[in-house]
Structure 1
Amino acid sequence: MLNIDLRIRQAAFKRLEAISQAPSGDVSWNAIAEPLPFDDGAIYLASRAIGIFKPKQMPDGILSIKTVVPKQGRTNIYADGTSDEGGFWYSLEAGGLTKSANRQLMISYERKDPIIYLIGVAPGRYFPLWPCIIDSVDTQQEICHVSMHDHTDVLRDVAEPTAAYRVDGLEKRHLIREVKTRVHQAEFRARVMQAYSSRCAMTGLPVPQLLEAAHIIPDSHQASTAEVSNGVLLTGLHHRAYDAGLVGIDPNYRIHVDDALLATKDGPLLESVKQLHGQQISLPRNAKQRPDREALDLRYQKFRGK
């Protein structure tokens, strides 16, 4: 029979698997904070007040660490503490080993416990990574390094094949690149969602589950940026149409529908797209977050030239 430490970690990982089903991968704090039934009581995955967390039922070590995006947001959405070593830097509590949380983190570091890293991508929203390993600690600088590779023999016993990020059989660099890409995508979407008040810029649809952050200058282009001003919030359908060159947005924020599409006659869904022709997109209240006109013009010229 598994000891209580492993049982808590397994239960926590299964909960994360259940609540992390959205394509974007990010999860609300309310979902994370929901008590998880365990034996005759309940455990929690994290604490709102502290970053380094140990459930009271866990004898020692930690279950999770958490970074937070304040309500005013960040100036640079890529400032997530990524490292050249293939992971993430995380700050300890100030005070070194005089702090109980840091001492418990050291226990998990020494044992190589699988833990959860909740990366804040927007106020009240997190991108959960699990299982993670603390693979180094610098008590003088009060930082530790967190990664999702190595020690697969330890992870295999706890993560099982249900964890969202599997480590077995994956080459180290590929795994870290995939993880960082997904974190950045989730952060970009969360910021764009916030800027557009969770409404499609073309249709006004207010259903977050159906909305995506479309890049104006594609992410693969060397001129692309991760700023909100390089994004537009669209439904999945309109995002695909925008990327396919069937719909364009000019520098004055007007919507243009491809001539061939305008001439096509079909059902009400296509008609709803055609009716957008000549309309203006809805814009964020914050002028700095509105689509960059130069980026729109570059993309619009491509739309016109096909």
Structure 2
Amino acid sequence: MSFDYETRIAAFEWLKGQTGIHGDVLPRRLLEKGFVHSGQRIPLMSPQGIFRPKRLDYPLTITTAPEGPYDDRISTDGLLSYRYRGSDPSHRDNIGLRKAMRDKVLLIYLYGVVPGKYMAVWPVYIVADDPGSLTFTVAVDDASMLSAERPMDYELAEPRRAYITSQVKVRLHQRGFRERVIDAYRTQCAFCRLRHEELLDAAHIIPDTEPESRPTVNNGIALCKLHHAAFDNFIIGVSPRYVIEVREDVLKEHDGPMLQHGIKELHRQRIILPRREEFMPDKGFLEWRYERFREASL
């Protein structure tokens, strides 16, 4: 077994361990530091999006930076589109990915959700190359099928990869939305200022089940889990003027301190807003939601 293949399997195992510790979003500094394999440090990131560590025969990782210069996206067939480095198909990094495609080499995809934070997806393959659009096509496979002793059967895996890639697409979008919204609200609940990130969610203003919904920060509000549930269930609403309203029947209830201090005292308070105007809750989205809150209050 080659050093290159052994290193890839070791990288997958290291990522499995790190996501067990940190969750599925990893800090850039951790990925840049990497791990030690056979006495050699193996970083997983560099300033370049296509990265081949020393002593490896092929690139190990491909990276999409948040707000990066390249239009990496999910293609209409559910696979991932990854842009060339630059506009020269003969650039050595693009040649490296082309060789990885030819030899069916396992790679890692690092998806930037916010500056300094990345989701790692593995294993992925380069399955197509389109020099006309300067784009590679990437498919995700099942990490549980990996073995250090027996390489994956590339040909038999095609239907499985199509399904898994479509599932990863959903996970990347959901997690990316969460991280961007929480970052925009400076890691605090917009209603109560709770700052424990593990207790925060990104609430959709227009739910993602609705055709009008958008996976954009201005369709989200960072809320703690209590207030997210209250918002989703129309116990609490937010007017287009960014003012919190508590449903009238709930205001009339008498219960313990959580209801009084955690819910009722929010009535007519303004929500905490992002500093950047483009991240502010869209007033049209809020109007859509507020109308349904008012209907639930009747």
Gaps of at least 5 residues in structure 1 are 161-166
SS in 2 for 1:55: coil
* Cα separation, 2, equivalents of 1:272 and 1:159: 55
Of 207, 213, 223, the match for 1:224: 213
Higher normalized contact order (CA 8 Å, seq sep 6+, divided by chain length): 1
Question: Partner residue of 2:140?
Answer: 148
| Counterpart-to-counterpart distance in 2, 1:254 and 1:68 | 35
**What pairs with 1:40-55 in structure 2 (closer than 5 Å)?**
40-47=39-46, 49-55=47-53
Are the structure 2 counterparts of residues 204 and 159 from structure 1 closer, same or farther at C-alpha, using a change threshold of 3 Å? farther
Q: CA deviation at 1:88?
A: 1.4
Q: Quick one: distance in 1 between partners of 2:135 and 2:158?
A: 29
Q: CA, structure 1 residues 156+129, in 2 after alignment: closer, same or farther (shift >3 Å)?
A: same
1:36 aligns with 2:25: no
Matched, 1:108 2:107: no
TM superposition shift of 1:117: 0.9
For the structure 1 residues 278 and 24, does the alpha-carbon distance in structure 2 shift closer, same or farther, using more than 3 Å as the test?
farther
Q: Which amino acid aligns with 1:237?
A: L
Report SS of the residue matched to 1:157.
Answer: coil
Q: Work out the CA distance in 2 between the residues paired with 1:33 and 1:6.
A: 20
- The CA deviation at 1:264 is 4.0
Distance 1:117 1:3 in 2: 22
Task: Compute the displacement of 1:220 (Å).
Answer: 0.6
SS at match of 1:96: coil
* Aligned pairs (5 A) from 1:121-200: 121-139=113-131, 141-149=133-141, 156-157=146-147, 174-200=163-189
Residues 153 and 26 of structure 1: is their aligned pair in 2 closer, same or farther, counting only changes over 3 Å? closer
Secondary structure of the residue aligned to 1:127 is strand
Deviation at 1:171, TM superposition (A): 5.0
| C-alpha distance after superposition, 1:242-267 (max 9, x if no partner) | 11222211222121223444414124
Q: Is the 8 A contact 1:88 1:147 kept in 2?
A: yes
Question: In structure 1, what is the Cα distance between the partners aligned to 2:203 and 2:21?
Answer: 17
1:111-163, Cα deviation, whole Å (9 max, x unpaired):
111111112222222222111010112345432111115xx799633599xxx
Is the CA contact (8 Å cut-off) linking 2:200 and 2:222 kept in structure 1? yes
Contact 2:123 2:143 survives alignment (8 Å): no
Residues 131 and 155 of structure 1 are in contact (CA less than 8 Å); yes or no, is this contact kept in structure 2?
no
- 2:59 aligns with one of 58, 62, 69: 62
The correspondence for 1:277, drawn from 267, 274, 277, is: 267
Amino acid of the structure 2 residue aligned with 1:51: G
Identity percentage over the alignment? 33
Number of the residue aligned with 1:26: 25
Work out the number of aligned pairs and report it: 288
3-state SS of 2:168 partner: helix
Contact 1:61 1:106 in 2 (8 A): no
Picking from 75, 92, 117, the partner of 2:84 is: 92
Matching residue's letter, 1:90: Y
Unaligned runs of 5+ in 2: 151-155
Helix, strand or coil at the partner of 2:266:
coil
**Which residue, out of 278, 290, 295, partners 1:300?**
290
CA distance in 2, matches of 1:211, 1:67: 25
Amino acid at match of 1:156: L
- CA shift at 1:39, angstroms? 2.2
Query: In the aligned structure 2, how far is the partner of 1:170 from the partner of 1:204?
Result: 46
Deviation at 1:52, TM superposition (A): 0.9
1:231-288 C-alpha deviation (Å, 9 max, x unpaired) = 1111122112211222211222121223444414124476323322221101112223
Q: Distance in 2 between matches of 1:217 and 1:102?
A: 40
1:215 is displaced (CA, Å) by 0.6
Of 115-124 and 269-278, deviating more is 269-278
Number of the residue aligned with 1:234? 223
